[in-house]
Structure formats: C-alpha cells, structure tokens
C-alpha cells in the first residue's frame, strides 16, 4: 500500500474551488442524491432480506429506511466531527475562523443530506397526517444551520462540524428502532444497544456544552464570523437543542429501556417482543 498515493487520492476528492456557487450547489445536490440512493437501496435490501419488513405499513417502511439512511450519514458525520475535534491541528488552533477543503466537502454533502431528510420528513407528515414538533424543529434548525455556510463562505467550520458530531447517537437509534419493529425489543442485545444509545445522548449533552464554551469564549468573533442572521439561527438551534431536545430525547430513550416503544409511533408499546401496531402472530412466524 502506497500511503503517499492514498493521501493524494483523498486530497483530489476535496480539491474543489468552493468559492464558486456552482461547486457548492453541485455538492449539495450530490449529498441529496447520494442519500436518496441510500434510502432506495435500504428499501430494496430490506424487501429482499427481511420478511418482517414486507409486513410493515408504508408509513413504517418510510421511517425504517430513513433510520438506516440517518445511521449511515452519522458515520460520515462522526468521522468528520471527531477529526476536527481531536486530530486536525488547524481546527485545534482556530475554532472560529478555520476552514479546510475537506471540511467544506463534508459540510456541503451534509447540507444535501439535511435537505433530503427535510423533504422526506415533511412530505411524510403531509401524506400520513402526523406531526412531531420536536423533530420538525430539529430538522429545520439542522438544515438552516448548514445552509448559512452556502451563503456566507467566510464562516468557520468548527462549530458546524461539531453539529455534525451530534449525530453520534443515530447508529444506535437505528438499530434500536429496527430491532423493535421486527420483534426483538426484549432481547439482551436490544437492551445493551439502548444503554449505548442513552450514553451517546449524554455525550451529545457534553458536546453541546463544549459548543457553548467555544461561543462564549469567542463571542464577538463568532458573531462577526457567522454574521448576525446566521448567528441568530445557530444560537436559537443550539439553545433549543441544549434546553429542550436533548433532555427530552434522553428521557424518552431511558423510558423506552424499561418499556420499549417506537418513537415514530409513540402511542404503540412493544409487547411480547413485537410492536402492537404490527401483527404479532406474523412476527412470531416471520423473523428477519
């Protein structure tokens, strides 16, 4: 293996002129269609592999596939966020103004993902007549926070990358929801995964405090760098996340540990190793 060639290959992936609107919009579109492809692939593979998936309603299939898509996006997000938090010397030295080509790439791809997620989420709300105010607020602030990067090309990337790292709980959440829907919500593995999910959500709280520390320590610089409109959106989103969303989701995850429910369908408890809103007899006969 030639490490120099590998490094050059990865550098070439990020070697774009991000000042150009055309480049930024193309990468946002790329993020949208990449994760649309993941969503469709999840549907195809689940239909082929899982008999349980075929028994779900259309609404539940949408959320099943979105959970898988969100879990895979979290892998990309956590990689980029941890690199900025722990490894990259540029971001270690400057948490306000620093930008790098790799951070541009990941932030723009993430913007495309959040655009895709908002489209699916809001269309699903309209079609299936459901409304979760917490998720609506979360999705809008997540997309709005990254959208500011496209408009203000001087914005630093450290705080947005920390925002991506907040997706750290989604792989465990994806596993939790899928296992609950196929009737394994009372297994030891599900409970162990739920403990991991709760731990990750507490880590999110710690990370949000770190983001507050960066903002407070460099308040004037952060406001100047982000610009007042973008800063207001970011400040409202971080405040809502810290004071309302994170505590609420920690409470719900802990509650599900002792009485498993599907968060997308909160009025339905999981009983006898399957969801009430699904056919339990079918699940006893058809396992993944």
pLDDT of residue 130: 81
Query: Helix crossing, 188-217 with 228-240: angle to 10°?
Result: 140
pLDDT of residue 11: 67
pLDDT of residue 129: 84
pLDDT of residue 183: 83
Burial of 29 (0-12, 13-18, 19+ CB in 10 A): middle
The dihedral of CA 17, 20, 21, 26: what is its sign?
negative
Q: How far apart (Å, rounded) are the C-alpha atoms in residues 57 and 210?
A: 41
Q: How far apart (Å, rounded) are the C-alpha atoms in residues 184 and 274?
A: 7
Residues of the chain with pLDDT under 70: 1-11, 260-288
Grouping H, G, I as helix, E, B as strand and the rest as coil, residue 1 is coil
Q: Where are the domains of the chain?
A: 19-285
pLDDT of residue 247: 94
Q: How far apart (Å, rounded) are the C-alpha atoms in residues 178 and 45?
A: 14
The model's pTM is 0.85
Direct distance between the N- and C-terminal alpha carbons of the chain, in angstroms, rounded to an integer: 39
């Amino acid at each position: 293996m030639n490490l120099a060639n590998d490094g050059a290959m990865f550098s070439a992936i990020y070697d774009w002129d991000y000042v150009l609107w055309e480049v930024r919009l193309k990468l946002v579109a790329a993020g949208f269609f990449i994760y649309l492809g993941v969503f469709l692939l999840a549907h195809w593979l689940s239909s082929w592999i899982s008999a349980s998936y075929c028994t779900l309603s259309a609404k539940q299939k949408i959320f099943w596939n979105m959970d898988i898509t969100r879990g895979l996006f979290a892998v990309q997000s956590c990689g980029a966020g941890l690199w900025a938090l722990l490894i990259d010397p540029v971001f270690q030295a400057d948490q306000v103004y620093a930008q790098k080509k790799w951070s541009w790439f990941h932030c723009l791809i993430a913007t495309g993902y959040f655009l895709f997620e908002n489209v699916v989420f809001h269309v699903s709300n309209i079609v299936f007549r459901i409304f979760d105010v917490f998720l609506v607020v979360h999705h809008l602030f997540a997309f709005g926070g990254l959208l500011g990067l496209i408009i203000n090309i001087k914005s630093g990337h450290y705080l947005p990358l920390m925002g991506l790292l907040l997706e750290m709980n989604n792989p465990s959440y994806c596993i939790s929801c899928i296992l609950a829907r196929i009737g394994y919500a009372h297994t030891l593995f599900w409970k162990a995964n739920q403990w991991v999910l709760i731990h990750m959500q507490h880590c999110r709280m710690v990370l949000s405090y770190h983001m507050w520390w960066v903002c407070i320590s460099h308040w004037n610089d952060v406001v100047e760098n982000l610009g007042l409109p973008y800063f207001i959106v970011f400040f409202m989103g971080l405040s809502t996340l810290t004071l309302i969303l994170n505590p609420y989701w920690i409470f719900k995850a802990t509650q599900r540990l002792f009485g498993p429910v599907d968060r997308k369908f909160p009025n339905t408890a999981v009983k006898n190793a399957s969801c009430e809103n699904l056919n339990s007899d079918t699940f006893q006969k058809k396992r993944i």
